Structure formats: C-alpha cells, structure tokens
Amino acid sequence: MKPLVLILCTGNSCRSHLAEGLLRAAAGDILEVASAGSRPAGYVHPIAIEVMGEIGIDISGHKSKHMNDFLSHEVETVVTVCGNADQACPMFPGQLNRHHWGFDDPAHATGTHEERAQVFRRVRDEIKRVFDAYAAGRRDALKR
C-alpha cells in the first residue's frame, strides 16, 4: 500500500484541491493523495478546475470532503495549506508527519474573471513548486 498524504484546508475548494492534483501528478505512483477541509465548502472552485486544466491536470471529478472523513484512515502525512486548517487539524491514525505550507486563498481574488484566474494561476504555480520539491524528496528517500 502507498502511504496516504492528506492535504487540508478550511474550505477544501481551492488550495487543497490544487495541491492534491499537483502532488498526485508528481508522485501518484508512490503516494496516495487526498484532500479535505475543516469546514468544507461543498464544491471545488470552477476557476481552480480551469487553471489546473490549463496544465493538463483534471480535477473536475474532485469532491469537497470533511477532514473527519479520514479519521479512520491510516494517514502517514498531513499537509495543511492554510492557517485555519493548521490550527483545527486533529491527529490521524498512523500519522508520522505533519507539515504546514501556507498559501494565499485565491477564492478571495476580485476583479474580472481573467484577473481572478491570474491569482489562481499564481497560487497554483507556488503550490506546484513546493509540492514538486516534496515529491522529489519522497522519491530520493525511497532510493536510500
């Protein structure tokens, strides 16, 4: 079984889904990846779906989930991508690692659709850099 990495955010509508899609693309062969929220919004933001599609990653099938749905799962690593989720995060069975990498919430972007999409792209690219490095580190650890 692949170790489960759970990515948490408050609403589970933007950042955590961007991170889930990106980490799954970078390391889905060696990690199980899921996301959830402390107060799930109940949807995945359409602009998040749009900007991920621009880089060839389809998250249109993702669902907004509550972090408590994972309390009975063996979660090896928890990564919080917003401050509120970091503060509300419980311990999960089997949890060995916890990381907090905070990113701006693109859902708060204002302006035209294109201006808002630019904010989503910036946050997506910031998340990609961090999670690509994390995936590379996990691969290096497997080689040892």
Q: Tens digits of per-residue pLDDT, 10-62?
A: 899 999 999 999 999 999 999 999 999 989 999 999 999 999 999 999 999 99
Domain range annotation of the chain: 4-136
Query: Over 90: is that where the pLDDT of 64 sits?
Result: yes
Q: CATH classification of 4-136, choosing from 3.40.50.2300, 3.40.50.720, 3.40.630.30, 3.40.30.10?
A: 3.40.50.2300
Question: Quick one: pLDDT at residue 87?
Answer: 64
Question: Quick one: pLDDT at residue 95?
Answer: 72
What is this structure's pTM? 0.93
Question: Quick one: pLDDT at residue 86?
Answer: 57
Question: Quick one: pLDDT at residue 88?
Answer: 66
The 10s digit of each residue's pLDDT in 103-128 is 999 999 999 999 999 999 999 999 99
Percent with pLDDT over 90 in the chain: 83
Instruction: Please report which confidence band the pLDDT of residue 132 belongs to, taking 50, 70 and 90 as the band edges.
Output: very high
Mean pLDDT of 4-9: 95
Q: Would you say 35 and 6 are in contact if contact means Cβ atoms under 8 Å apart? A: yes
Q: List beta partners, residue 7.
A: 35, 79
Question: Quick one: pLDDT at residue 82?
Answer: 86
Which of the residues are catalytic? 9, 82, 89
Q: Where does residue 61 rank: exposed (0-12), middle (13-18), buried (19+ CB within 10 A)?
A: exposed
Instruction: Tell me the C-alpha distance between 59 and 37, whole Å.
Output: 16
Question: Quick one: pLDDT at residue 105?
Answer: 94
Instruction: Please report which confidence band the pLDDT of residue 85 belongs to, taking 50, 70 and 90 as the band edges.
Output: low
